[in-house]
Structure 1
Amino acid sequence: MQLPPPDSAVPAPNPAPALAAPVSGPNRGGLALGIDIGGTKVAAGVVDGNGAILAQLRRDTPGRDARAVEAVIVELVNELDAKYHVESIGIGAAGWMDLDGSTVVFSPHLAWREEPLRQTLEAMLGRPVLVTNDADAAGWAEWRFGAGRGQNRLVMLTLGTGIGGALVMDGRVERGSFGMAGEFGHQIIMPGGHRCECGNRGCWEQYASGNALGREGRELAKKHSPMAAGLLGAVNGRGKDITGTVVTELALQGEATAKELVAEVGEWLGLGIANLAAALDPALFIIGGGLSTAGELLLEPARRAYARNLTGRGYRKEAHITVAQLGPAAGLIGAADLARVRAHKERDASA
């Protein structure tokens, strides 16, 4: 099934304020618990019907051990549910889901392979669980409550360990025929390029993600480039500790090499966005994830590269590229809201 649209009480897609107004109708009542599972962290939060987080917890992702990740999920749910009356639970996980959200077919950054995650978690928790892709959850949250409110066709890109993606069309998350739509980070943008965790070479996320940014910084340090002096100074000379987060923070402080590296990643980002615009023609691209904190240092070169590589440039309208509003919590907000929407629809159907 497609991920459900919100009930009719949610404003129809048309121009609206950037910040979400309170949502009326059945979506407003009841608390939902959302969990966002990434390559490095598991975040959980209790979310109300307006998209506000009432409580939040975070744990490090316990390596690539699927059973350990599931144990962390149960621990977080039980801790939050003990303090709040949670009516529904939504999980946003990094990886490819089957169409009905029951199985994680493949996760590049975790150990799930044909993992029946929904069934496993429902057995462990003793209650229904909605499972969706983490980027789909973030895209839904931005459409419902954030930068995409009022748009009827948008693409969400989350730049972190890799590149997650979501396509929201006419009030629903488009997941394709087999549930695999939105894996934009694995388009081949450089044949024969860097090896990706998915097994291919030259995937977009190897050039336009937080991991890519950190790798480029470490490469400069490894080659003893004088350009790496500022990067090395920030990590006490330990080149292996140069991460995308370190480079981003230095760029925001004005360090010249860090700014250059962020701009290079932005150019790769814009090239990939141009490819997506040619295929999907959305009105809006929303950039989220940890790397989005670089703001205009990232987005300005991305916009230039997008405009330069857009097919039909000069004869077509260009999509707007903007930063996400909900920050790193978008995934858990979206997972919680999708679970709430499904729970209400199921109750309405059985009434």
Structure 2
Amino acid sequence: MITCFDIGGSTIKAATATSPEALTMLGRVPTPHHDFMAFAAAIAEWVKIGGAPEGAPVAISVTGVVDPASGVVTCANIACIDGLDLAQALSARLDRPVLVANDADCFVLAEAGIGAGQGHRVVFGVILGTGVGGGLVVNGAIHQGAGGLAGEWGHGPVAATEAGSPPIAIPRLPCGCGQSGCVDTVGGARGLERLYAHLGGGEASSREIIAAWQAGDALAARTLECQIDLLAGPLALTVNVVGPDIVPVGGGLGSVAPLVTALDEAVRRRILRRLDRPLVVPAGIAEPGLVGAAILGLSQ
């Protein structure tokens, strides 16, 4: 048995696992942002409560980038771990092995292991949440890449400057990564809201826009048409480069099945490979961060 964690900017979720399919939820606490001792104490308390044997590893899925060479985490959301070799720091505190991986990598590891990508050799996982992210698993292992940045198809100034039919001009919006025109600026929930406002809809939440789209609202439908168009080109290019067997989609927008279906159809029209089955599919795992961390930890 191991202890696994899914750590985001708001919450630390903890569980024990004897297999990826057998998780026992322990609970959740708010994530300490500015006090590493409080952060480490929260992890230690859940390890104690879970009762994993002495020396059993702790596996963590965390928001942010994890450099595979140095172990250093870059995490704007949790200041107390930003710039820290988190695995080493926690291992010293807990006196047991600690493994740390990016949350998008854990998502795709979970999907490749027991989710929508099970049985496939190359799985590219897409996150359509607040923004756009991704990760790659090949032969059951995370492909980390230099700097831990493999799979980040949402960044780089590659978003189209017009979308939809008839086409409408799309501004090159500034991105949190420091560039402008990234897919991340138009592809996630915040991107959907920006596009809706750009098309004259004013302020509305992504949930409200999706609900309006499903109810047949013309402006919401036009917004989704533009967003799918903006996403499909870069994702098709990624598919051509990476060659995945399947592309599971997670995140808030990933839970909207009609959106994923429309994106799948748009991507398959643009890729070199001809498929008569869905390629871009809804994710199949309810707690991918914890499951991915469990797979990572149990593999050790």
TM-score by length of structure 1 reads 0.71
Q: Which runs of 4+ in 1 moved over 6 A?
A: 316-319
Q: 1:326 aligns with which of 271, 281, 285?
A: 285
In the TM superposition, what is the alpha-carbon distance from 1:51 to its structure 2 partner? 2.3
Q: 2:38 is matched with which residue?
A: 71
Q: 2:22 is matched with which residue?
A: 52
Tell me, in whole angstroms, the C-alpha distance in 2 between the residues paired with 1:44 and 1:243.
30
Q: Which amino acid aligns with 1:325?
A: G
Deviations 1:268-295 (A, max 9, x none): 3322210101211111111011221111
Q: 2:4 is matched with which residue?
A: 34
Q: 1:183 aligns with which of 152, 157, 164?
A: 152
Tell me, in whole angstroms, the C-alpha distance in 2 between the residues paired with 1:290 and 1:273.
18
Q: 2:189 aligns with which of 210, 213, 219?
A: 210
Q: 2:97 is matched with which residue?
A: 128
* 1:1-351 superposed matches below 5 A: 30=1, 32-61=2-31, 65-67=33-35, 71-72=38-39, 74-75=41-42, 77-79=44-46, 81-85=48-52, 87-100=56-69, 102-104=71-73, 106-107=74-75, 109-111=77-79, 113-190=82-159, 193-217=172-196, 219=197, 225=200, 227=201, 239=203, 242-248=204-210, 251=213, 257-296=219-258, 298-310=259-271, 312=272, 320-327=279-286, 329-342=287-300
Q: Which amino acid aligns with 1:135?
A: A
Q: Which amino acid aligns with 1:203?
A: C
Tell me, in whole angstroms, the C-alpha distance in 1 between the residues paired with 2:111 and 2:256.
19
% identical equivalent positions? 28
Q: Secondary structure at the match of 1:58?
A: strand
Residues 111 and 285, structure 2, Cα contact 8 Å, conserved in 1: yes
Q: 1:235 is matched with which residue?
A: none
Q: Secondary structure at the match of 1:82?
A: helix
Name the CA shift for 1:46/1:261 in 2 (closer, same or farther; >3 Å): farther
In the TM superposition, what is the alpha-carbon distance from 1:114 to its structure 2 partner? 2.9
Name the CA shift for 1:122/1:325 in 2 (closer, same or farther; >3 Å): same
Farther off after superposition, 250-259 or 118-127: 250-259
Tell me, in whole angstroms, the C-alpha distance in 2 between the residues paired with 1:197 and 1:166.
19
In the TM superposition, what is the alpha-carbon distance from 1:248 to its structure 2 partner? 3.9
Q: 1:9 is matched with which residue?
A: none
Q: CA RMSD in A?
A: 3.1
Deviations 1:241-288 (A, max 9, x none): x43345445555666544543443333332221010121111111101
In the TM superposition, what is the alpha-carbon distance from 1:179 to its structure 2 partner? 3.2
Q: What is the aligned residue count?
A: 287
Q: Which amino acid aligns with 1:179?
A: G
Tell me, in whole angstroms, the C-alpha distance in 1 between the residues paired with 2:41 and 2:273.
50
Tell me, in whole angstroms, the C-alpha distance in 2 between the residues paired with 1:301 and 1:183.
22
Tell me, in whole angstroms, the C-alpha distance in 2 between the residues paired with 1:169 and 1:323.
19
Tell me, in whole angstroms, the C-alpha distance in 2 between the residues paired with 1:251 and 1:125.
49
Deviations 1:146-181 (A, max 9, x none): 111100011011221222211111221111244331
Tell me, in whole angstroms, the C-alpha distance in 2 between the residues paired with 1:116 and 1:302.
37
Residues 138 and 331, structure 1, Cα contact 8 Å, conserved in 2: yes
Structure 2: unaligned runs, 5 residues or longer: 161-170
Residues 157 and 181, structure 2, Cα contact 8 Å, conserved in 1: yes
Q: Secondary structure at the match of 2:35?
A: helix
Q: Which amino acid aligns with 2:292?
A: G
Q: Which amino acid aligns with 1:300?
A: T
Residues 59 and 72, structure 1, Cα contact 8 Å, conserved in 2: no
In the TM superposition, what is the alpha-carbon distance from 1:80 to its structure 2 partner? 5.8
Q: Secondary structure at the match of 2:83?
A: strand
Tell me, in whole angstroms, the C-alpha distance in 1 between the residues paired with 2:130 and 2:183.
12
In the TM superposition, what is the alpha-carbon distance from 1:214 to its structure 2 partner? 3.3
Name the CA shift for 1:79/1:252 in 2 (closer, same or farther; >3 Å): farther
Tell me, in whole angstroms, the C-alpha distance in 2 between the residues paired with 1:47 and 1:249.
37
Name the CA shift for 1:174/1:124 in 2 (closer, same or farther; >3 Å): same
In the TM superposition, what is the alpha-carbon distance from 1:210 to its structure 2 partner? 2.0
